[in-house]
Structure 1
Amino acid sequence: MQSNGRSDSQSNVDGMGVTKEHCYFCFDVLESHFENRKPMPAPFEDEKYPLFVTWNTVPSSSSTSKRRGSSDHQLRGCIGNFSAMPLHRGLAEYALTSALHDRRFSPIVASELRRLSCAVSLLVDFEDGSDYLDWRVGTHGIWIEFKSESGNKRTATYLPEVAKEQGWTKEEAVESLLRKGGHKGKITQEVKDGIVLTRYQSSKTSVTYEEYLDWKKQNQYVN
């Protein structure tokens, strides 16, 4: 996943938490982009949250192989923002940004819609870690700040589910995150001790495209 910068104003964010309607709205934003129409009105309150939108390819029923570090889905885009945003604007923006402008992947095309799932993560409970290991796998996402070999500040983040899905220890997750953030040299204890870590949690849910179509039909949304 990619992110915009963290702001100092985002300590704890209270509110209603994520709902499937957030994901349905993201699907409609993406579908409306391909159909050259206006998306539906957002069917939820316009609370403010830091947020991420993630698109995955839904696995086929015949795909049953599992191994350490593997996942049962294929990432197609994940981008978000660590500054709290109104959900109507934020989800509309990042539904498209993560689908079309994640530089790690080719843009999603209309023919992929039926094979996709959409996940929305609303980020909450930001806390300063006492060191780079002051967090729990499966509970916390981590945001790290560190200095590159040239002395420039670098940042990187993993959402709460990443380390658990990959089967990483905390040490492995932090070392991977340093590489993601652009550290190219040897990862020494001094490098890790120099990390400034922020931990956070997320309220997350996901839906498939078929679930979105069923919901739209039941609620009589028409193009």
Structure 2
Amino acid sequence: MVAANKEMAVYCFDTLVAYFNGAEAPPPEFEGGRFPLFVTWKKHSNGREPRLRGCIGTLEGRCILTGFKDYSLTSALRDERFPPIQAKELPYLQVTVSLLTDYEVVDHYLDWEVGKHGMILEFIDPHNYRRSATYLPEVAQHEGWTQIEAVESLVRKAGYLGPITDVLKSKFRVTRYQSSLYTLTYAGYVDYIKRTRSVASVSTSRSSARVAARRFA
């Protein structure tokens, strides 16, 4: 079993920093494998709880070496819910890497646990449109939702705005899953490379945000 770890989160920061500096990221420091995965970026601001800046991934198994590289940039720059992350935001970011495991199709749409399971909701709406959406395991607990509230939010996330009737609920297909995740702040990233890489690498990483900010200003 491969677990999400610090090296994966470091690689996501390496990838984003390298993008802003027009450089190649250092090679990953973890082994490969195939997993569904997500990359989530949040931003710290004025001591408040970090706010979401991008979250994109795949529910299908993918090589994690290329997956984290691709989704680091996709979630940071191309999540349509948010403006692209800018280089000047780097010092305020944290990244969470998630590997999804233990997929199970359940018999009832409430057969999952808040804080333990993520869920994929699929259904066909009254207009015969096929819809689907997912929340990672940590979302419902973070939002303080009950199971019903999480399911109703997923229905809306899937794009259906009509009434959520018992007939509609009878068409729900839910797949629950679990995840292994690791969260790293930019400060933790800088500390990691300070302890594990050469002096030149540390100097480059510390100045990356300033260099990139000037380049993209």
State the TM-score, normalizing by the size of structure 2.
0.90
C-alpha separation in 1, matches of 2:25 and 2:19: 8
Asked whether 1:114 is paired with 2:95, we answer no
Q: Which amino acid aligns with 1:27?
A: F
1:130 paired residue number = 107
What is the Cα-based RMSD across aligned positions, in Å?
1.0
Asked whether 1:43 is paired with 2:29, we answer yes
Deviation at 1:218, TM superposition (A): 1.5
Q: Which amino acid aligns with 2:3?
A: G
| Larger deviation, residues 144-153 vs 174-183 | 144-153
5 Å-filtered alignment, 1:179-218, equals 179-218=156-195
1:28 paired residue number = 14
1:150 to 127, 141, 162: 127
Asked whether 1:53 is paired with 2:30, we answer no
Q: Runs of 4+ in structure 1 displaced over 4 angstroms?
A: none
State the TM-score, normalizing by the size of structure 1.
0.87
Q: CA offsets, 1:34-73, max 9 Å, x none? A: 0000001000001111000000012433x3xxxxxxxx22
Q: Which amino acid aligns with 2:52?
A: L
Equivalent residues of 2:114, 2:147 under 8 A apart: yes
Relative to total residues, which structure has the larger helix share, 1 or 2?
2
Q: Which amino acid aligns with 1:48?
A: R
* Identical-pair percentage: 45
Deviation at 1:16, TM superposition (A): 1.8
Q: Which amino acid aligns with 2:29?
A: P
Q: Which amino acid aligns with 2:175?
A: T
C-alpha separation in 1, matches of 2:171 and 2:50: 34
C-alpha separation in 1, matches of 2:16 and 2:197: 19
Aligned residue pairs: how many?
A: 200
Q: Which amino acid aligns with 1:19?
A: N
Q: Which amino acid aligns with 1:49?
A: F
C-alpha separation in 1, matches of 2:101 and 2:15: 24
Point out where structure 2 has 5 or more consecutive residues left out of the alignment.
205-217
Asked whether 1:75 is paired with 2:61, we answer no
C-alpha separation in 1, matches of 2:20 and 2:125: 40
1:97 paired residue number = 74
Point out where structure 1 has 5 or more consecutive residues left out of the alignment.
1-14, 64-71
C-alpha separation in 2, matches of 1:141 and 1:36: 36
2:118 to 132, 137, 141: 141
Deviation at 1:187, TM superposition (A): 0.8
C-alpha separation in 2, matches of 1:60 and 1:21: 28
Q: CA offsets, 1:180-221, max 9 Å, x none? A: 001111111111121000000000110000111111121115
Task: Indicate the structure (1 or 2) with the bigger Cα radius of gyration.
Answer: 2
Equivalent residues of 1:149, 1:183 under 8 A apart: no
1:174 to 136, 151, 154: 151
